[in-house]
Structure 1
Amino acid sequence: MKHTVVDMHAHFFPPIAREEAARLDPEHAPWLQIRSDGSGMIMTGDQPFRPVYDALWDATRRLEEMDAAGVDIQVMCATPVMFGYRYAPGKATDWCRRMNDHALALTVPDPARLKVLAQVPLQDLDAACAEASRARAAGHVGVQIGNHLGPRNLDDAQLLGFLAHCGDEGIPVLVHPWDMMGSERMKQWMLPWLVSMPAETQLGILSLILSGGFERLPRTLKLCFAHGGGSFAFLLGRVDNAWRHRDIVRRDCPQLPSSYLDRFYVDSAVFDEGALALLVEVMGAERVMLGSDYPFPLGEREIGGLIRNTGRLSAAIKPKLLGANAMQFFGLG
């Protein structure tokens, strides 16, 4: 029996011309420099940001690679450099609308297989809620947000307000780490991606748990954290231990931290059989979804290969991770 395979964490970057980016910011806004050989460079103003290739913006190439990988449906989200959180709300709202329209255009070659998440001007609550609802009605299957807004974590009242809106409106949310901490000490070896990115994701989860944020959010909220939840699953025992023995940890959190595991999901991008087995043991088989981080070099090279090939998960569990959980999360079935 064939089961539907859904990669729910993949990125896109549309073919934004420099002139279009300049409408947001001529010096820093991201745009795409495309070369004749199919390679490209994401630029921020005059500065190279990241080398990329055509699967990031070419839906036909993406579908070919999905076929080769055995992926039936892919949920695409913006490359985080596109978020635009630094700008005034009016400019950011216009930018997000344009980027969300670009995203929908990428689905045209096969809208049954290509799905997209919207981005929102998170710096303005009303504008973010309005754009999330507009995008949902236009065909986006959810939204992607960063795990913080400058110094404000997810327990900030404005960010909780946005999450509450998504819960009330039935809009799934993917939280993606970005703008990583400690970069001044991590100049080499991609350490911000290897150290700070998992920590940022854990920080996002714990900010909702320990602040009592989940107590104030509707249970209808569908919330997923990227990259396997970062370091959260491995360090959950430490958090529970601290909650039990230090009153400053449990001051705003009425329940044991591990009791909130039914409030969010994680993807499977952990790249190791032992780590995946631990993640499923901690989160439960219903709350882990295949996510590859495609098409970036730090993503899973054989999409779904870790889940398919591991001997540490039962045959009954694997179809849930490979697609059934994401079908339910995004309402695709």
Structure 2
Amino acid sequence: MIDMHAHLFPPITRQEAQALDATQAPWLRIDSAERGMIMRGAQEFRPVHSPLWDADARIADLDHHGVDMQIVCATPIMFGYALDPAKVADWAARMNDLTLAHCMRHPTRLKALAQVPLQDTDRACREASRAQASGHVGVQIGNHVGDRDLDDEQLVEFLHHCGSNGIPVLVHPWDMMGGARMKKWMLPWLVSMPAETSLGILSLILSGAFERLPRALKLCFAHGGGAFAFTLGRADNAWRHRDIVRKDCPQPPSRYVDRFYVDSAVFDERALRLLVDVMGSERVMLGSDHPFPLGEQQIGQLVSQSGCLSAQEKRRILSDNAKTFFNLA
């Protein structure tokens, strides 16, 4: 099994984070060998456990779950897209080096995705290429930068760079919409995250951006593509009946599902079946969101124990697709 969606947070101290920003930059408070707290300045952000920063603890988890390889990437709070681009470029390079060091403790089991200063296209492209040369197997980006969605010309330029240089891209939702209306019950994660991911996909489709991007671009959206599969019929219907929807998009939205992948983190067999029906089993990859509580608690169980997938479909989702997507031996 290859789990292609998992997170880490290197043991960054508050002093190191202050070099980026004294009040907003995240750091890790380690409270014991097993427990810690992601901090933002002086504020507690999220309690976490040792597999997030300890590679040996991570491998113990993977052994327990029967996972052969895991591809790890930054916890999205580390992106820093709202901060000074020059400082964030240095921060991203430092985080990428630490991520690679985390993986090199178990180089056949762990692979790294890089982060980039996405608010600055030139710097983002340079860091993506530097990270690729240093051993990262791709990059992870957020689904927007402030008010700029993935159809923004500068973000399309970054995606074009990745497609032209063989750098796979994982898009992860972050900085979720909704504000004060998402009061409690983890509603930003339950409602806004799926919406953010769907917004990212549809912004690329309906803007016509996919028409301008190279087909060689390897692009994957986390969390099963959010609400996209369930609402694709609605998008096609709107495209057929409203010229404002199809103004910049020459084909129905469903014609673009071969331009990207999704992970399998949907937590329900009926949702998984729909996802495979919409995307095709060749465009779904095992993703767990490990080691967070909202991730799959038994990595790979939904796919491996599914009664509605064939053995070939399971093999594709659990390993073969990730090997192709990330160029793994």
With normalisation by structure 1, the TM-score equals 0.98
The whole-number CA distance in structure 1 between the counterparts of 2:297 and 2:19 is 36
Question: Aligned to 1:21, which of 13, 17, 25?
Answer: 17
2:238 aligned with 1:237: no
Letter in 2 for 1:113: R
Which 5+ residue runs of structure 1 have no aligned equivalent? none
Letter in 1 for 2:218: K
- Structure 1 stretches of at least 4 aligned residues deviating more than 4 Å after TM superposition: none
Q: Deviations over 1:267-321 (max 9, x none)?
A: 0000000000000000001000000000000000000000011101111210100
2:140 aligned with 1:144: yes
Question: Aligned to 2:246, which of 227, 247, 250?
Answer: 250
The whole-number CA distance in structure 2 between the counterparts of 1:282 and 1:108 is 37
Q: Deviations over 1:129-172 (max 9, x none)?
A: 00000000000000000000000100000000000000000000
2:286 aligned with 1:260: no
What is the aligned residue count? 329
Question: Aligned to 1:49, which of 12, 35, 45?
Answer: 45
Aligned to 2:300: 304
2:271 aligned with 1:275: yes
Question: Aligned to 1:314, which of 297, 306, 310?
Answer: 310
2:100 aligned with 1:104: yes
Q: State the 1:37 CA deviation.
A: 4.4
The two structures, once aligned, show a CA RMSD in angstroms of: 0.6
Letter in 1 for 2:155: L
Letter in 2 for 1:224: C
Q: State the 1:35 CA deviation.
A: 1.1
Q: State the 1:248 CA deviation.
A: 0.3
The whole-number CA distance in structure 1 between the counterparts of 2:32 and 2:280 is 46
Letter in 1 for 2:315: P
2:63 aligned with 1:67: yes
Identify which range, 22-31 or 155-164, moves more after superposition: 22-31
Taking only the aligned residue pairs, the percentage that are identical comes to 69
The whole-number CA distance in structure 1 between the counterparts of 2:20 and 2:53 is 20
The whole-number CA distance in structure 2 between the counterparts of 1:271 and 1:130 is 36
Aligned to 2:174: 178
The whole-number CA distance in structure 2 between the counterparts of 1:56 and 1:307 is 24
Q: Pairwise mapping of residues 25-40 of structure 1 onto structure 2 (< 5 A)?
A: 25-40=21-36
Q: State the 1:36 CA deviation.
A: 2.2
Aligned to 1:130: 126
The whole-number CA distance in structure 2 between the counterparts of 1:86 and 1:138 is 26
Letter in 1 for 2:247: R
CA contact (8 A) 2:27 2:38 kept: yes
The whole-number CA distance in structure 1 between the counterparts of 2:313 and 2:220 is 19
2:185 aligned with 1:189: yes
2:207 aligned with 1:204: no
Which 5+ residue runs of structure 2 have no aligned equivalent? none
The whole-number CA distance in structure 2 between the counterparts of 1:225 and 1:302 is 21
With normalisation by structure 2, the TM-score equals 0.99
Aligned to 1:79: 75
Q: Deviations over 1:168-216 (max 9, x none)?
A: 0000000000000002101110001000000000000000000000000
Q: State the 1:109 CA deviation.
A: 1.5
The whole-number CA distance in structure 1 between the counterparts of 2:32 and 2:265 is 32
Letter in 2 for 1:270: V
CA contact (8 A) 2:81 2:117 kept: yes
CA contact (8 A) 2:33 2:50 kept: no
Q: State the 1:12 CA deviation.
A: 0.2
